[in-house]
Structure 1
Amino acid sequence: MNRAERLAAVLDLLNDSGQVEVDDIITKLGVSAATARRDLDTLAEQQLLTRTRGGAIGQSVAYDLPARYKQERHAPEKLQIARAASALVTRGDVVGLCGGTTSTAIAGVLSSRADIAQASPHANLTVVTNAINIAAQLAMRPQIKTVVTGGVVHARSYELVGAYAESVLAQVRLDLAFVGVNGIDPFVGATVNDEREAAVNTLMAGQAARAVLVADSSKIGRVAFATLGALDQFSALITDAGISAEQLAAFGEAGLEVIVA
């Protein structure tokens, strides 16, 4: 295991419980105490964690989130989806992230990647987002260039919506866009609860070379108020193992690739 792989493994241990001890790193990664401490110090310098006596805790964020983020459901599934989404991202990409709990999880996984956090004279990743909580989270990562759309804050979701958000998105090109939804159905398509969020999400998808839907399996078969348009504008859906064989087949017939995290 090289140093970059080791640092990524330490961050994985941290993500599992929110804290990690030097002894855990020694036992699980088979390294010396001195190496474990150096790795923690390196990650602390990169602002990826906060050192404590004998270990580290996850980096805290100095803002409060709406209740939907605090009382997040299906958190393990969303973390798996976020890791699968991260696997599609190459260092140097321009990535679009809409708002929502799954997109927030993706931002967390991306910011924890050792190759992205590595010191560099240029940004290792560019993220374009209309979610102010994601922007605040990534602003602490010096190797991620964070571009925030304008717009009016939607108090329920912390998403920026409206003409200003759409104007900024119309002027950028994305390598990848990850779009969260409130419902996904092979016949109706992707839907969200708010028509203003739908407009921004649809535009973000249209500005990307590859647009990917991200939704845990509880969203499959559900239909919300506002549609994002035809499924053929998306190249794939990333979901969890809760998707049924019948649902997989239906999406296949609709021409949408499904990545099961």
Structure 2
Amino acid sequence: MKRPERLNAILDLLAESTQVEVEDIVNKLEVSPATARRDLDHLAAQRLLTRTRGGATSETVAYDLPKRYSKDQQAAKKRAIAHAASGLIPRGAVIGLCGGTTSTAIASVLATRRDLMEPSNKPTLTVVTNAINIASQLAVRPNIKIMVTGGILSPRSYELVGPYATSILQQVALDFAFVGVNGLDPEIGPTVNDEGEAAVNSLLARRAGQAYIVADSSKIGVRSFATMSGYTFGNLITDDGITVEQRQEFEARGTNVILAPPVEE
């Protein structure tokens, strides 16, 4: 088994449990203990796991990420949204992911999709993103092609913004785009906290054949600082916490609302 395949297999083992031991890797992947330890060290350097004595845990970079990435009270809802979004993405698609916790959840689901890990002479998925944490998260998946925009890094969100980011996005064509937001109002549409992020999010959505706002129900009715001007808000993936009245108001304005079913833990 080649090293990229081993790294994928180790991440798959972590996806099944919160921890893995060197002995588990030795037995299941038929490698030496030294090889298993080197692979774990490599993944730890990529911040895809945390090394422990004798193995590793998937409880990884939450302490290094902005506060909104840790202790997320809506995590279960965002996982459900992520699975619903993943179900829309066929093998071979070109997708855009902005930053944010829900987009990061989508990346996590895609990273464990077995059909995307099957050997292929061409990318099984192409991801265009302005979020460096998402690019890092998917970097060890050899079948997934990653394109990162340029730009100025926002330390609050790990997103690249500014004219370099927009210049790159103007040169790509996406099949799907998934855009996270800080607020979502039926009247003024999606909003975020930063005007630079809003501009990149809007352009990402406009470059896609199909664009989806991904927002848990706690964001509905909230208005943040910056609107996504130029983007016609047509699709929303949210959780079953949305009220009947809220859904009807979105649909009356032409928005297709997709309810993500809960995901078993």
TM-score, L = length of structure 1: 0.79
Question: Matched residue pairs, number?
Answer: 234
State whether residues 86 and 110 of structure 2, in contact with CA within 8 Å, keep that contact through their aligned partners in structure 1: yes
Query: Could you give the per-residue CA deviations for residues 6-42 of structure 1, whole angstroms, max 9, x where no partner exists?
Result: xxxx96x965763489xxxxxxxxxxxxxx947xxxx
State whether residues 104 and 134 of structure 2, in contact with CA within 8 Å, keep that contact through their aligned partners in structure 1: yes
Aligned counterpart, 2:217: 217
- Identify if the C-alpha distance between structure 1 residues 259 and 66 changes in structure 2 by more than 3 Å, giving closer, same or farther: same
Task: Quote the Cα distance in structure 1 between the aligned partners of 2:138 and 2:58.
Answer: 14
How far residue 183 of structure 1 moved from its aligned partner, in angstroms, is 0.5
Aligned counterpart, 2:4: none
- Identify if the C-alpha distance between structure 1 residues 20 and 154 changes in structure 2 by more than 3 Å, giving closer, same or farther: same
Task: Quote the Cα distance in structure 2 between the aligned partners of 1:205 and 1:58.
Answer: 31
Q: Percent identity among equivalent residues?
A: 59
Task: Quote the Cα distance in structure 1 between the aligned partners of 2:187 and 2:247.
Answer: 13
Question: Given residue 118 of structure 1, which amino acid in structure 2 is its aligned partner?
Answer: E
SS in 1 for 2:212: strand
Question: Which stretch has the larger CA shift, 60-69 or 177-186?
Answer: 60-69
Moved over 6 A (4+): 47-50
Aligned counterpart, 2:165: 165
Unaligned runs of 5+ in 1: 1-9, 22-35, 39-43
SS in 2 for 1:145: strand
Aligned counterpart, 2:245: 246
Task: Quote the Cα distance in structure 2 between the aligned partners of 1:139 and 1:131.
Answer: 12
Task: Quote the Cα distance in structure 2 between the aligned partners of 1:151 and 1:197.
Answer: 11
Query: Could you give the per-residue CA deviations for residues 117-156 of structure 1, whole angstroms, max 9, x where no partner exists?
Result: 1122221100000001101111111111000000000010
State whether residues 85 and 106 of structure 2, in contact with CA within 8 Å, keep that contact through their aligned partners in structure 1: yes
What does 1:86-125 correspond to in 2, within 5 Å? Answer: 86-125=86-125
Aligned counterpart, 1:31: none
Task: Quote the Cα distance in structure 1 between the aligned partners of 2:120 and 2:57.
Answer: 25
Q: CA RMSD in A?
A: 3.3
Question: Given residue 125 of structure 1, which amino acid in structure 2 is its aligned partner?
Answer: L
State whether residues 179 and 213 of structure 2, in contact with CA within 8 Å, keep that contact through their aligned partners in structure 1: yes
What does 1:172-251 correspond to in 2, within 5 Å? Answer: 172-229=172-229, 233-251=232-250
SS in 1 for 2:92: coil
How far residue 212 of structure 1 moved from its aligned partner, in angstroms, is 0.3
Task: Quote the Cα distance in structure 2 between the aligned partners of 1:62 and 1:75.
Answer: 13
How far residue 260 of structure 1 moved from its aligned partner, in angstroms, is 0.7
TM-score, L = length of structure 2: 0.78
Question: Which stretch has the larger CA shift, 221-230 or 135-144?
Answer: 221-230
Task: Quote the Cα distance in structure 1 between the aligned partners of 2:63 and 2:118.
Answer: 25
Is 1:69 aligned with 2:88?
A: no
SS in 1 for 2:109: helix
SS in 2 for 1:202: helix
How far residue 49 of structure 1 moved from its aligned partner, in angstroms, is 8.8
Query: Could you give the per-residue CA deviations for residues 182-216 of structure 1, whole angstroms, max 9, x where no partner exists?
Result: 01111111100110000000000010000100000
Task: Quote the Cα distance in structure 1 between the aligned partners of 2:123 and 2:62.
Answer: 23
Task: Quote the Cα distance in structure 1 between the aligned partners of 2:112 and 2:121.
Answer: 19
Question: Given residue 180 of structure 2, which amino acid in structure 1 is its aligned partner?
Answer: G
- Identify if the C-alpha distance between structure 1 residues 16 and 84 changes in structure 2 by more than 3 Å, giving closer, same or farther: farther
Unaligned runs of 5+ in 2: 1-10, 22-26, 30-35, 261-265
